[in-house]
Amino acid sequence: MCQITVSIPEEVLFDTKMSQEEAGRFVRCTAALGYYTQRGVSVGYCAQIAGMTEGDFIRYLGQNGISIFHFDNEEEFLEELGNA
C-alpha cells in the first residue's frame, strides 16, 4: 500500500471543528469516492482506501447518491432486472 501525506491548514480543522483523525478519514473517503466515480477503480480497492468494509463503502456510496450499478440504457437495466 502506498502512503500519501496531505497538509491541511490548522485553521481549516478549527473552522470545520474536525480532529486530525476526522480530517484524515474525510480525505480518505473523498479520495475513494473520486477514484470510484472518475477513474473506475473497484469497490474493493476504494473500500480499502476509505478504511471501510466493502459493504460499508457501498452504503457510503448510496449516502452520497452514487449507485454501484451502471447501465448503458434502459433495455440493459431491464434485462439485468429480469436475471435477478
Tell me the pLDDT of the chain (84 aa) as tens digits: 899 999 999 999 999 999 999 999 999 999 999 999 998 899 999 999 999 999 999 999 999 999 888 777 788 778 877 886
Q: Is residue 2 part of a domain?
A: no
Q: Which of 32, 52, 27 is nearest to 42 (CA)?
A: 32
In this prediction, residue 50 carries a pLDDT of: 97
Q: Is residue 65 part of a domain?
A: yes
In this prediction, residue 77 carries a pLDDT of: 77
Give the number of domains in the chain: 1
Find the domain containing 57 and state its range: 16-83
In this prediction, residue 11 carries a pLDDT of: 97
Q: Is residue 69 part of a domain?
A: yes
Please report the DSSP string for 13-78 in residue order.
Answer: HHHHT--HHHHHHHHHHHHHHHHHHHH---HHHHHHHHTS-HHHHHHHHHHTT--S---SSHHHHH
Q: Is residue 53 part of a domain?
A: yes
Q: Is residue 5 part of a domain?
A: no
Q: Is residue 71 part of a domain?
A: yes
